């Protein structure tokens, strides 16, 4: 008679049932240099995350031994910043690869739950005016509330029949729509759109459009590139500039919009799980979308803590927009009037 084989938790096999939590790694036992080199962030930042997420990560579990919030956060940061579940990473904090995967899932969901706390447009008038002033200081473009663009993150094929995630390069990806301020702080991040959707279609269906058409369009606009349609709240470049004012407008537009490209490079450089150098995200589209959003939350928190990596070297293959720009002239006469007034008032 065959004897059934129980599937056992690797950590349980290794460490038994002696304690309620697995605290085999202590922050105070290692140097700041080690934390930055292994997990991508300094001690103060990691401690902040433990305080922020600790209660959520300590939720009751059916397992006899839970992994401490500190260890879960270190495991997740190790994956986000390296893109790998290497045994070396698990060995460093004393957990198995299977437990590493569970930690990433737990921390990801905890960060996603707090996305609206860290990624949002300012609402009070003084902060909105500061936002506009900061953008104006870059290249003289007035009224800018944010710069918007899309970027693709490679994922594994969901299944053979689902072609909605296949982008123009024949690769499976998520098309992520993001808006940032002049410092690269994300003001909006929609990370769930299938890679087959062109940027203009993503924006058409995005919550961002509803926000601006119903709430945020108050004497200001976003800047988008030529893959988007001109709207009253979204200024795009002129297809064929002819006058000096139009050239000045396009130059100011390009210099200001470049902030989002630098922001994408920053996210790619810090969170190697997104840059393609370790392969695609090996999760379903939904879980991959949550990992991207979790990294966006961490990006904003890192900027709040003064961890600016714009000077870091570019790395990896996090794809920019898949568009072959097809200039789409707006049929919105009011949007054309707004742009023309901007040209006459500020660039003539």
- Encode the chain (348 residues) as per-residue pLDDT tens digits: 443 333 334 443 333 333 344 455 677 778 888 888 888 899 999 999 999 999 999 876 545 457 889 999 999 999 999 887 665 566 667 778 888 889 999 999 999 999 999 999 998 999 999 999 999 999 999 999 999 999 999 999 987 677 899 999 999 999 999 999 999 999 999 999 999 999 999 999 999 999 998 876 667 999 999 999 999 999 999 999 999 999 999 999 999 999 999 999 999 999 999 987 767 898 999 999 999 999 999 999 999 999 875 544 444 444 544 444 455 555 688 999 999 999 999 999
Domain of residue 95, residue span: 27-57+67-117
H or E segment to which residue 177 belongs: strand 173-180
Take residue 94 and report the two structure tokens written for it. Answer: 């004393």
273 and 155, same domain (yes or no):
yes
The pLDDT, as a whole number, for residue 146 is 97
Instruction: Kindly report the pTM of this predicted structure.
Output: 0.87
Last residue of a domain, one of 81, 101, 117: 117
203 and 72, same domain (yes or no):
no
The answer to whether position 138 is within a domain reads yes
132 and 256, same domain (yes or no):
yes
Task: Please give the Cα distance from 282 to 148 (Å, whole number).
Answer: 27
Take residue 297 and report the two structure tokens written for it. Answer: 């939350």
The pLDDT, as a whole number, for residue 42 is 92
125 and 215, same domain (yes or no):
yes
Which residue in 68, 56, 59 sits closest to 110, CA to CA? Answer: 56
The answer to whether position 310 is within a domain reads no
Last residue of a domain, one of 95, 117, 139: 117
Last residue of a domain, one of 117, 139, 157: 117
Which residue in 148, 129, 261 sits closest to 209, CA to CA? Answer: 148
133 and 96, same domain (yes or no):
no
The pLDDT, as a whole number, for residue 26 is 73
The answer to whether position 155 is within a domain reads yes
Task: Please give the Cα distance from 128 to 124 (Å, whole number).
Answer: 6
222 and 138, same domain (yes or no):
yes
164 and 260, same domain (yes or no):
yes
The pairing of beta strand 186-194 with beta strand 173-180 = antiparallel
159 and 265, same domain (yes or no):
yes
Angle in degrees, CA 198, 123, 257, rounded to 5: 40
Phi, psi of 277 (to 5 degrees): -70, -25
The pLDDT, as a whole number, for residue 330 is 59
Angle in degrees, CA 203, 206, 210, rounded to 5: 105
| Domain total in the chain | 2
74 and 113, same domain (yes or no):
yes
169 and 213, same domain (yes or no):
yes
Non-local CB neighbours of 295 within 8 Å, separated by 6+ positions: 80, 267, 270, 271, 273, 274
């Amino acid at each position: 008679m065959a004897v059934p084989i129980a599937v056992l938790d690797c950590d349980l096999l290794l460490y038994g049932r002696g304690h309620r939590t697995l605290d085999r790694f202590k922050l105070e036992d290692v140097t700041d240099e080690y934390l930055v080199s292994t997990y991508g962030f300094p001690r103060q930042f990691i401690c902040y995350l433990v305080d922020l997420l600790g209660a959520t990560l300590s939720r009751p579990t059916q397992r006899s031994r839970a992994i401490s919030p500190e260890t879960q956060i270190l495991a997740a940061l190790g994956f986000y910043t390296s893109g790998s579940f290497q045994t070396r990473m698990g060995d460093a904090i004393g957990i198995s690869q299977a437990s590493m995967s569970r930690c990433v899932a737990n921390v990801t969901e905890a960060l996603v739950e707090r996305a609206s706390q860290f990624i949002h447009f300012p609402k009070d008038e003084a902060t909105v005016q500061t936002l506009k002033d900061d953008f104006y200081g870059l290249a003289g473009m007035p009224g800018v509330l944010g710069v918007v663009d899309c970027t693709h993150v490679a994922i594994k094929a969901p299944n053979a029949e689902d072609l909605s995630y296949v982008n123009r390069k024949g690769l499976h990806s998520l098309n992520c729509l993001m808006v940032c301020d002049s410092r690269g702080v994300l003001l909006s991040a929609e990370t769930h759109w299938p890679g087959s959707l062109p940027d203009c279609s993503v924006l058409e269906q995005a919550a961002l459009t509803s926000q601006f058409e119903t709430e945020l369009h108050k004497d200001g606009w976003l800047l988008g590139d030529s893959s988007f349609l001109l709207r009253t709240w979204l200024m795009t470049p002129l297809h064929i500039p002819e006058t000096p004012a139009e050239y000045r407008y396009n130059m100011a537009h390009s210099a200001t919009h470049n902030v989002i490209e630098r922001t994408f490079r920053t996210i790619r450089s810090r969170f190697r799980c997104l840059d393609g150098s370790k392969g695609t995200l090996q999760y379903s589209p939904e879980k991959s979308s949550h990992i991207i959003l979790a990294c966006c939350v961490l990006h904003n928190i890192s900027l709040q803590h003064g961890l600016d990596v714009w000077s870091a070297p570019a790395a990896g293959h996090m794809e920019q927009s898949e568009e072959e720009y097809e200039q789409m002239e707006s049929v919105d006469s009011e949007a054309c009037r707004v742009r023309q007034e901007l040209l006459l008032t500020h660039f003539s």
